[in-house]
Amino acid sequence: MNQIRTGTHKRLWRWCAALTIVGTLVACDTTPTPTGPAPGGVPSPTSPSARAPAPIVDVEPLPPVQHHGLSRWEPIRWNELPGWGQDDLHAAWNAWIKGCERPLQGHGALCDEVRMLSIASQAEQQDWVVKRFRPYRVVQRDGVEPPGLLTGYYEPIMSASRQPTASHRTPLYAPPPGLSAKRRWYSRKEIDTSAVAKAALKDRAIAWVQDPIDALILQIQGSGRVRISEPDGQVREVRLAFAGHNGHAYQSVGKWLLRQRAISEGSWDAIKDWAARNPQRLNEMLWSNPRTVFFREEALSDLDAQFGPRGAQGVPLTPGRSIAVDPKSIPYGTPVWMATQGEALNDRRLVLAQDTGGAIEGSVRADLFTGWGTQQDEAFLLAAGLKQPLQLWVLLPRN
């Protein structure tokens, strides 16, 4: 994530950028802003608290432990939260504003204040979070702190054709008629070999890609951006969003190859290299994962292109600030403090629980949305490299 630099020009740029995010002309209003607290206790951008965060005074008795589904939330004091005060909260604020499009129950009034603080200083934002929220350490329901796990996911960008060609022969399908989450549909192998399954998917192909492994990557990530070559020669970039799956359990093709000692590491480079050397076994590898994902095509406006696909909360994901969680442990829309240390990422930051995934299970488990790009871009490289320890704290409203 690019750091936001201080200075007059950057501050004015951020105020104007708020136009596209929160849709309010106050961002670029040149009318002098009155000093003093704004309505609802939110400080104005020119109040004294804009200069530095107020010292944290946290002496009131801690609230009781809370339980939510699979997890236990243990209250702590702000000065016990590792790294608090060092994160660039401006980078997280857009994700919070997006989450407020579908606020968590009881967060409606807080979301009004989140929007008002979109152009506030970082010190004001920090003071407001401390005043309005209490951090709770997330552990297992029995009180044991598990070895948390952070992984990453991204939105692939790849080329495609609207019609099958000699080079683009792998289809990406819209859901077949009658697909139901209550029962399993045909497996990946049956889709490729069964005449009945093929008939059900007739005329359901949205686009065709060149590499079947790229199609698999797109299905595993759940969505992607494709640059589609149309029959008239025009190229359009659209989003293929998740629209359902066939009901079979996901199985990792990397683990399938590792069990056979066919590869020494479960990276996509290793998987593609093996496939290039063993074309006669490509389908065998692909069929080891019976799950197939179906898509719907969405237009990609200039504004949409600044955010990721919609997650399970129903709001667009923000790179580096949206995480997928187990909703049985952390509800969608919850602000979360994340701490992780590893080769791919060493950071402590504010993130928002806005998505989930089939492999995201447990109390201290998260998947960080890293952005979009090709397999040479930073978003892919970070997502592919993330598999490291994790600690989580949910931020719950006071009172």
Spatial contact of 369 and 319, defined as CB atoms under 8 Å apart: yes
In the chain, % of residues over pLDDT 70: 86
Tokens of 147: 């070895």
192/188 Cα distance (integer angstroms): 7
Average pLDDT score, the chain? 87
Residue 220 pLDDT > 80? yes
CA distance 50 to 31: 18
Domains in the chain (CATH in brackets) are 154-298 (2.40.240.50)
> How do residues 179-202 score in pLDDT, each as one tens digit?
998 899 999 999 999 999 999 999
Model pLDDT for residues 246-259, shown as the tens digit of each residue = 999 999 999 999 99
pLDDT, tens digit (0-9, with 9 covering 90-100), for 360-397: 999 999 999 999 999 889 999 999 999 999 999 999 99
**Least-confidence region, from 46-55, 146-155, 277-286, 319-328:** 46-55
Q: Please state the rounded mean pLDDT for residues 341-345.
A: 95
pLDDT band at 266 (very low <50, low <70, confident <90, very high): confident
Strands, E assignment, the chain: 66-68, 71-75, 133-140, 148-161, 170-173, 205-209, 224-229, 235-245, 293-298, 322-324, 335-341, 346-355, 365-373, 387-397
- The yes-or-no verdict on residue 48 having pLDDT over 70 is no
pLDDT of residue 32: 36
> Which residue bears the tokens 């889709």?
191
Return the pLDDT at 51: 52
Predicted TM-score (pTM) of this structure: 0.81
Percent of the chain with pLDDT over 90: 78
Please say if the pLDDT value at position 207 is more than 80: yes
So what's the pLDDT on residue 277? 97
> What is the per-residue pLDDT for 399?
78
pLDDT, residue 60, reads: 82
Q: In the prediction, which pLDDT does 143 show?
A: 87
Mean pLDDT within 321-336: 97
Q: Report residue 357's pLDDT band, with 50, 70 and 90 as the boundaries.
A: confident
Q: Are 363 and 141 in contact (CB under 8 A)?
A: yes
Tokens, residue 163: 């019609």
Q: How far is CA 303 from the centre of its chain?
A: 17
Residue 44 has pLDDT above 80, yes or no: no
Q: pLDDT band at 53, cuts 50/70/90?
A: low
